[in-house]
Amino acid sequence: MVQGVANWNTETTEEWLQNYVDDWVSFYRKHTEDGNVASYIPILGEANKNHLGISILGSDGLSIRSGDTDISFTIQSISKVFSYIVACMTRGVSYVLDRVDVEPTGEAFNSIMHLEMRNRLEKPFNPLINAGAITVSSMLEGDTSDEKLNPLFELFERILGYRPEINVEVYESERDSSMRNRAIGYYLLETGFLESDLNITLETYFKQCSIEITIDDLAKIGTVLANDGEDPATGEEVIPRQVARLSKALMLTCGMYDASGKFAAYVGVPAKSGVSGGIIAVSPPRVREESLPFKNGCGIGVYGPALDEQGNSIAGIRLLRHIANQWDLSIF
């Protein structure tokens, strides 16, 4: 239990929680020195590695924000969750599962080696590594990248109430520097996994990674996933339950790159990170420990561009682990 919050549903709860989170963010901010920004994408290398912010939105409307909360950043690999959701909604779950698996790899997110080493690669391992995500981008319906991404923007607009934009500078930086993703794309093309033109597929993928959002946006989307696709603010089903649950399972097992197992063990919530430093985390409703906050579920958005060796926000993960343990957010 959080010390000093014996009855969290009192009028002073939000103030108490805010003070605790402010202290925790202040403490974990110094851990940003242990990581490095993603300089292999030149524009991302310009981020301030000392930034750290968190936004927590409960299904009941309780909201806590702390640290660097007003910074926009590009969604990067977090977009893989949503392109997958859109593909399942438009093409059907069975169609997508026939073409992209749901198994963890234990390899880096941009690995090519695991594609070659599997004796008979029937399909990419999962949609949250680059090979799987590029394959999913090729499945999105449309003849151009803008047509392919329109349903993704519509999904964001439906949840957030506004249409995010692509950061053109980041898109161009990724497009001009992502030789590894082009190599993966050519391998997928050679092996017959792509369903659309390679250049259009890669353009779609680079653009979806360059969509600009905030931690408040991630927290809001997280509440929808926490409630199995239903927006708790409106009661509307935005994402089919089966798709939402499948996506959360993938986030738990594959969402934090090759550190997903440790994150599941020590934090215990579905999450997806991106190399810009963003993390979306989801804590579904739980029935135990009614004295703790956010028992009705919550979405969490984190931003901390200093990354660890796996490409995850180093201070963000440590902050999430602390909060999850203090408030018993784990799904286990």
- Which among 77, 79, 173, 276 is annotated as catalytic? 77
Task: Say yes or no: 230 and 300 in one domain.
Answer: yes
Task: Say yes or no: 138 and 24 in one domain.
Answer: no
Instruction: Look at residue 32 in the predicted model and tell me its pLDDT.
Output: 97
Q: Is 257 one of the annotated active-site residues of the chain?
A: yes
Instruction: Look at residue 329 in the predicted model and tell me its pLDDT.
Output: 93
- Which among 20, 84, 171, 257 is annotated as catalytic? 257
Q: Is 248 one of the annotated active-site residues of the chain?
A: no
- Give the residue carrying structure tokens 């089919």: 240
Instruction: Look at residue 10 in the predicted model and tell me its pLDDT.
Output: 44
Instruction: Look at residue 7 in the predicted model and tell me its pLDDT.
Output: 47
**Residue where a domain stops, chosen among 152, 182, 209:** 209
Instruction: Look at residue 6 in the predicted model and tell me its pLDDT.
Output: 42
Q: Is 77 one of the annotated active-site residues of the chain?
A: yes
93 in a structural domain: yes
What's the total number of domains in the chain?
A: 2
Task: Say yes or no: 111 and 55 in one domain.
Answer: no
- Which among 80, 148, 207, 220 is annotated as catalytic? 80
Check which CATH number belongs to the domain holding 157 and give it: 3.40.710.10
Instruction: Look at residue 104 in the predicted model and tell me its pLDDT.
Output: 83
- Which among 25, 275, 282, 302 is annotated as catalytic? 275
Task: Say yes or no: 87 and 65 in one domain.
Answer: no
Task: Say yes or no: 231 and 321 in one domain.
Answer: yes
7 in a structural domain: no
Q: Is 196 one of the annotated active-site residues of the chain?
A: no
- Which among 205, 238, 247, 283 is annotated as catalytic? 205
38, 49 Cβ separation under 8 angstroms? no
Entry pTM: 0.92
Instruction: Look at residue 195 in the predicted model and tell me its pLDDT.
Output: 95
Helix 198-209 and helix 145-160, axial crossing angle in degrees, nearest 10? 30
CA distances from 162 to 121, 185, 189, 213 (A): 40, 32, 35, 11
Q: Which domain holds residue 150?
A: 76-209
173 in a structural domain: yes
Q: Taking the chain, what is the end-to-end CA distance rounded to the nearest angstrom? A: 17
**Residue where a domain stops, chosen among 185, 209, 233:** 209
137, 188 Cβ separation under 8 angstroms? no
98 in a structural domain: yes
Instruction: Look at residue 130 in the predicted model and tell me its pLDDT.
Output: 92
5 in a structural domain: no
Query: For residues 97 and 94, what is the distance between their CA atoms, to the nearest angstrom?
Result: 5
Task: Say yes or no: 45 and 170 in one domain.
Answer: no
How would you write the pLDDT of the chain (332 residues) with one tens digit per residue? Answer: 334 344 445 445 788 899 999 999 999 999 999 999 998 889 999 999 999 999 999 999 999 999 999 999 999 999 999 999 999 999 999 999 999 999 886 565 555 556 655 545 678 889 999 999 999 999 999 999 999 999 999 999 999 999 999 999 999 999 998 888 999 999 999 889 999 999 999 999 999 999 999 999 999 999 999 999 999 999 999 999 999 999 999 999 999 998 999 999 999 999 999 999 999 999 999 766 566 788 899 999 999 999 999 999 999 999 999 999 999 999 98
Structure tokens at 37: 């920004």
Query: For residues 91 and 86, what is the distance between their CA atoms, to the nearest angstrom?
Result: 8
**Residue where a domain stops, chosen among 209, 227, 260:** 209
4 in a structural domain: no
The side-by-side arrangement of strands in the sheet containing 63-67 is: 63-67, 53-58, 298-303, 278-283, 271-273
| Residue 332: Cβ-neighbour burial (10 angstroms; 0-12, 13-18, 19+) | exposed
Task: Say yes or no: 110 and 198 in one domain.
Answer: yes
